[in-house]
Structure 1
């Protein structure tokens, strides 16, 4: 009869023996448990870094697919093998707050007394939450327009008249900084496509979107909405996204487009609350 192969001792025990230390029976059990825990932590860290991330949604912007307080894992591998498609629920990084990072001495912003560290609420009465968004608003201002910037807990600051040579907030002495967080929305249109919302209905490239992902009315009653009112072309490398619960969602109607490179992945499985555990679609 063949002799049954003896089980090799744990790696940590083989290392201790090579170092000249022979632990007793109890200590061997402890060391084996320590090795098991180290391996488990290493596997979990690998998965959470390269395969999935956990996310909790605080708002109702994606009701009914995702409820406030839902916690789920995000699969970050999917889009390494295929491109995001309209109708996908996606998780992505996006700015949620725009700050005055610094003000250059002697600049128009400094002379106006613009405080450092405050959140920028609006530029010429248009809400802004990102550097790109502020740049787009500034670009739309005509020469001769008075530039007004509003920050948190303060009245608007008058930065003077836009004239030749003043092409950005940086020219007025303002350095901006964004704060970003993870958002979850539904992808509606990708680069080179045209999107429009008419009477609550979504149209992409002139055709009405069909399918259960889009069987809802999209609200356009907020005066802050600037995108999708008219046929809006999505630039290459950008996405147009919407919340399923559009009355309670800040999305591309307000921000404009998100960068394709900022997409993290796709919600995979809900793990909390327990009665709603399951795949997210």
Structure 2
């Protein structure tokens, strides 16, 4: 199982919120009454911690509930507005590099309940060509990022490194033959400019045989995704379709690149994600 930060943050929000409500109901009225009866000069010189002790508020309660506002702001922003992710693998090369820190729009595909990921307010639908973040169907505690290739009802084919959607070949133009790619495997690749859904982006194709070919029909309520590093990506060709309820949002911006812990972060990759 992966490290489910979303679940941990939700639990922290609920726990600190419960302590905040408990303090508000039990101890706040007592503190307010004591402070209202004090002289203004005496009240002004009291430190905030001292004010908490006026009504014999337990230190543990005061400590836990003090984090509620901070956690609530982070929780709401991360759940409903924008969420940060780090790219851990090379499956989306050359679009996204290992160590890129990205931002994901959380309301593009509907306002969803945290953790459950159930849509409560529909907005727009995912579009072919979007770079999407979703919960990995085989282990929902993991987040994956790929490019959306097939919408519900689409017929997708991939043979001899040629991608076809609904009988039409997705256009790609050779940009260069690279001797060595940025893949951890360091294998030679060709760099192409691909156009799908009107979105132009770069992809890699290796010189070796295509690892997995086939024909797929995308079921209703599901999506077909692939990595831009076409021959080095575990995606829908291997483990199947992404259910709609697993979609988390659209990746739209790279804001930082950090290769490893002891390296110096940089902003060389900053920009919108195409």
Please state which band the TM-score falls in when normalised by the shorter chain: 0.5 to 0.7
Kindly state the Cα deviation for residue 217 of structure 1 after the two structures are TM-superposed. 5.8
Q: Distance in 1 between matches of 2:272 and 2:209?
A: 33
Of 249, 252, 257 in structure 1, the residue corresponding to residue 233 of structure 2 is 249
Q: Does 1:82 align with 2:124?
A: yes
Among 7, 14, 18, which residue is 2:32 paired with? 18
Q: What is the rounded CA distance, in whole Å, between the counterparts of 1:27 and 1:16 in structure 2?
A: 17
Structure 2 counterparts to residues 173-212 of structure 1, below 5 A: 178=139, 180-210=141-171, 211=195
Of residues 223, 239, 243 in structure 2, which corresponds to 1:259? Answer: 243
| 1:193-218 residue CA offsets vs partner (Å, 9 max, x unmatched) | 11112332211111122425465465
The reply to whether residue 68 of structure 1 matches residue 98 of structure 2 is: yes
Name the SS for the 1:248 alignment partner.
coil
Q: 1:186 to 1:278 in 2, by over 3 A?
A: same
Q: Distance in 2 between matches of 1:45 and 1:230?
A: 41
Q: How many equivalent residue pairs? A: 182
- 1:267: Cα distance to partner? 1.3
User: Take 2:141 and 2:200, find their aligned partners in 1: how far apart are those partners?
Assistant: 27
What is the RMSD computed on CA atoms of the aligned residues?
A: 3.2
Q: Corresponding residue for 1:3?
A: none
Q: Structure 2 unaligned segments of length 5 or more: list them.
A: 1-23, 52-62, 111-122, 172-194, 258-265
Q: Note if contact 2:152-2:218 (Cα within 8 Å) is conserved in structure 1.
A: yes
CA distance in 2, matches of 1:238, 1:179: 15
| Residues 1:195 and 1:218: Cα distance change in structure 2 (over 3 Å) | farther
**Aligned 8 A contact 1:200 1:217 in 2:** no
- Partners of 1:237 and 1:83 lie apart in 2 by 11
Q: Give 1:114's aligned residue.
A: none
**Secondary structure in 1 aligned to 2:136?**
strand
- Which one has the largest radius of gyration? 1
2:89 matches 1:59:
yes
Q: Distance in 2 between matches of 1:240 and 1:201?
A: 16
2:200 aligned with 1:239, yes or no?
no
Determine helix, strand or coil for the equivalent of 2:103: strand
For residues 30 and 250 of structure 1, what CA distance do their matches in structure 2 show? 57
The normalised TM-score by structure 1 is 0.55
- Offset of 1:83 from its aligned partner? 0.7
Return the structure number with greater relative CO, CA threshold 8 A, min gap 6: 1
CA distance in 2, matches of 1:218, 1:253: 15
Deviation at 1:28, TM superposition (A): 5.8
Aligned counterparts of 1:179 and 1:209: Cα–Cα separation in 2: 30
Tell whether the 8 Å contact from 1:201 to 1:218 is kept in structure 2 after alignment.
Answer: no
Q: CA offsets, 1:28-74, max 9 Å, x none? A: 6998xx99986444322211122222211110111122111112222
* Paired residue secondary structure (2:83): strand
Unaligned regions of 5+ residues in structure 1, if any? 1-11, 96-129, 131-177
Check conservation: 1:76, 1:264, Cα contact below 8 A: yes
